[in-house]
Amino acid sequence: MAAEGAAGDSPSRSKRADAQRNRESVLTAAAGVFVTSGVDAPIRQIAAQAGVGMATIYRHFPTRADLVSAVYQHQIEACAEAGPNLLANADSPLDALHQWVDLFVDFLVTKHGLADALQSDNDRFAALHAYFLDRLLPVCAQLLDAAVEAGDIKPGTQPYELMRGIGNLCIGRDNDPRYDPRRLIALLLQGLQRPQTS
C-alpha cells in the first residue's frame, strides 16, 4: 500500500515542481522586463519572456502588486544569498564587496517604481522595506567586516550608511542619460579603501 501511495503521489509532486519552475520563470522574466520597460509593462510581455501563458501568471500573482512584491522579494533573496557566496569565492573580501554592490545596484534598478505599483498599499510597502533591511543589512555588514579584517578598507562604515548612499546615487538615473551612478559608486567604494603603503 505504501508503494502505491508513493507512486500515486508522483504526478502531484511533478505538478508542484512544474508550478515552482513556472513561478521562478515568471519572477526572472518579470525582473528583466521591469528593468527595461518599468513595473507597468504589459503582463503579456512578461508571459512571453517567461514562456508561459498569462493565466499562469494570474494564477500565481492575482494582481500586479502581488507580482511586483514577489519580484522584489525574489531579488532581495538573490542579493542576500550572493553575499556569503561571493565572500567564499572572490579573490579578496574587497572584490566580494565590489561584486555584491554591483548586484545591489542591479536590484535597486529593478526596485524602481515599486511604490507606484503598490499604490496606496502602505502596509505591504512597509513590510517589504522591513524585509529588505532585515535580509540585506547583515549581509552588507558581513562583507564590510571581512574587508576591514583583511585590511582592505578603513573601519567605521555602517552598512545602512553605505546602502543608503548607494541608493541615493541611483536616484534619477532614468531622467538623465549622461548620469552613470556606477561611476560615482566606484568612487564611493574607493574612498572606503585604506591608502596603499609602498
For the record, the C-alpha cell of 195 comes out as 591608502
Whole-number average pLDDT of the chain: 86
State the Cα–Cα distance between residues 106 and 181, nearest whole angstrom. Answer: 11
Q: What is the pLDDT of residue 62?
A: 93
9 to each of 12, 14, 22, 88, 178, how far by Cα in Å? 5, 9, 20, 39, 57
Q: What are phi and psi of 180, to 5 degrees?
A: -120, 105
Q: What is the pLDDT of residue 36?
A: 82
pLDDT in tens, 98-155: 999 999 998 887 676 666 666 556 777 788 888 999 999 999 999 999 999 999 999 9
Residue with C-alpha cell 494582481? 63
Predicted structure pTM score: 0.80
Under DSSP, the state recorded for 125 is H
Q: What is the pLDDT of residue 119?
A: 58
pLDDT more than 70, % of the chain: 84
Q: What is the pLDDT of residue 97?
A: 97
pLDDT more than 90, % of the chain: 55
Per-residue confidence at 5, pLDDT binned at 50, 70, 90? very low
Is the separation of the CB atoms in 76 and 131 below 8 Å?
yes
Per-residue confidence at 6, pLDDT binned at 50, 70, 90? very low
Q: Is the dihedral of CA 153, 112, 74, 17 positive or negative?
A: negative
Average pLDDT over residues 36-60: 91
Asked whether residue 1 carries a pLDDT value surpassing 60, the answer given is: no
Best CA proximity match to 112, nearest among 19, 48, 55, 41: 41
